[in-house]
């Protein structure tokens, strides 16, 4: 059989099935917009010289994010070209929009360079559900586990930063502080993500934490910032912040990518307070994890 390169894939003549490990993670399924691999379609329609796919998206999925594998097959009793298509998501959709469906339309001649007339089949599975309102979100467990792991890693980053802060200080209890922080660090590093506690979303504000150190569970805050952070450790420029705080130092961000922010733009951030720093006069001073953001 012959593999025809389409989009970003250019493969030569192969015999048998394609080997695993090609671009787009062909050995796994893209069940959500954030995953790569063989697309699980929400709908499929072949009409004339076009293929219409319905896919899950957060708002940033285009044909450029999808690789199409084409296998030209031979039929003994028919000289009409027969093509087998597989659509793979190569680029994850990490936008902040609501999960929804969107159509991608491929012209067989212009986009896929196939010879018409032809016979065609698509290997991608198609998800069937009783009603539109039953659109399958990411499984709560997967989403929950990712958040727990991110929060634990942010707390680990915060503890390491505090160890360095005390090592460079002249604090009278410097050695004792560092020893206690190293014990905390070891506990966090050995903690499975599923054991990291989450706060209640029903009462996100609550009273300000009074204890220093790792906050288990973390506290939730929403703040407006004058300019977005650029890297871990940055102090957030919060609207209304005074010399008495509260101060928020970034210890982590969802997706671990600060390039999602446009420079010099204002944002509303949802924060998880993962660690309270011991600070002058008890002024509120935290390490935080940025869970979501919205440009103002």
Q: What is the pLDDT along the chain (296 residues), one digit of tens a residue?
A: 333 333 333 233 222 233 333 444 556 888 889 899 999 999 999 988 999 999 999 888 999 999 999 998 877 666 788 999 999 999 999 887 788 888 999 999 999 999 899 989 999 999 887 654 444 554 556 778 899 999 999 999 999 999 999 999 888 889 999 999 999 999 999 999 999 999 865 444 445 555 789 999 999 999 999 989 999 999 999 998 888 889 999 999 999 899 999 888 899 999 999 999 988 777 899 999 999 999 88
Q: Report the alpha-carbon distance of residue 135 to residue 129 in Å, rounded.
A: 8
Which of the listed residues 100, 116, 134 is the one where a domain comes to its end?
134
Looking at the fold, whether 45 and 174 belong to one and the same domain comes out as no
Can you give the residue range of the structural domain that contains 177? 140-295
Q: With contact defined as beta carbons under 8 Å apart, do 119 and 83 qualify?
A: yes
| Residue pair 195/213 in contact by the 8 Å Cβ criterion | no
Total tally of structural domains belonging to the chain: 2
Residues 111 and 165 in one domain: no
Burial-class residue 287 by CB neighbours within 10 Å (0-12, 13-18, 19+): buried
Tell me which residue has tokens 């103002």: 296
Strands 29-30 and 37-39 turn out to be parallel
Q: In sequence order, what are the residues at sequence separation of 6 or more whose Cβ sits closer than 8 angstroms to the Cβ of residue 96? A: 58, 59, 292, 293, 294
158, 267: one domain: yes
Out of 134, 157, 183, pick the residue that ends a domain: 134
Q: Which of 63, 80, 60 lies closest to 72, judged by CA?
A: 80
C-alpha 204: how far from its chain's center? Answer: 23
Residues 153 and 288 in one domain: yes
Rounded CA separation 58/100 (Å): 6
Distances (CA, A) of 239 to 81, 225, 247, 263: 64, 5, 11, 16
Q: Which of 134, 163, 198 is the last residue of a domain?
A: 134
Cβ pair 252, 150 in contact under 8 A: yes
Residues 62 and 145 in one domain: no
Specify whether 38 is located in the same domain as 81. Answer: yes
pLDDT of residue 141: 66
Same domain, 281 and 185: yes
Decide: 293 and 270 in contact? Cβ < 8 Å: yes
Same domain for 149 and 124, yes or no, is no
- Same domain for 34 and 9: yes
Determine if the pTM surpasses 0.75.
no
Q: What is the pLDDT of residues 241-255, one digit of tens each?
A: 888 889 999 999 999
Q: Are residues 168 and 264 in the same domain?
A: yes
Q: Are residues 118 and 162 in the same domain?
A: no
- Check whether residue 258 and residue 213 sit in a common domain: yes
């Amino acid at each position: 059989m012959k593999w025809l390169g389409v989009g970003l894939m250019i493969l030569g003549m192969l015999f048998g099935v394609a080997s695993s490990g090609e671009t787009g993670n062909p050995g796994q399924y893209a069940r959500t917009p954030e995953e790569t691999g063989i697309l699980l379609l929400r709908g499929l329609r072949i009409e004339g010289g076009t293929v219409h796919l319905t896919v899950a998206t957060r708002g940033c999925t285009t044909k450029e994010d999808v690789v199409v594998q084409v296998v030209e097959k031979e039929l003994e009793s028919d000289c009409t070209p027969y093509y087998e298509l597989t659509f793979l998501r190569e680029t994850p959709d990490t936008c902040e929009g609501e999960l929804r469906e969107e159509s991608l339309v491929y012209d067989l001649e212009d986009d896929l360079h196939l010879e018409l007339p032809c016979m065609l089949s698509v290997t991608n599975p198609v998800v069937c559900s009783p009603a539109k309102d039953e659109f399958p979100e990411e499984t709560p467990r997967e989403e929950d586990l990712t958040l727990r792991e991110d929060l634990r890693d942010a707390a680990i980053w915060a503890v390491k930063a505090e160890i360095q802060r005390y090592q460079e200080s002249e604090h009278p209890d410097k050695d004792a502080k560092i020893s206690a922080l190293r014990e905390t660090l070891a506990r966090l590093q050995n903690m499975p993500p599923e054991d990291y506690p989450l706060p209640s979303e029903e009462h996100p504000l609550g009273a300000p934490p009074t204890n220093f150190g790792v906050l288990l569970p973390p506290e939730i805050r929403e703040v407006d910032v004058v300019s977005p952070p650029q890297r871990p450790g940055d102090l957030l420029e919060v609207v209304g912040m005074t010399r008495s705080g509260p101060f928020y130092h970034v210890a982590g961000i969802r997706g671990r990518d600060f390039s999602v922010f446009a420079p010099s733009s204002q944002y509303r951030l949802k924060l998880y307070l993962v660690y309270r720093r011991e600070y002058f006069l008890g002024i509120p001073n935290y390490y935080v994890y940025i869970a979501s953001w919205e440009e103002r």
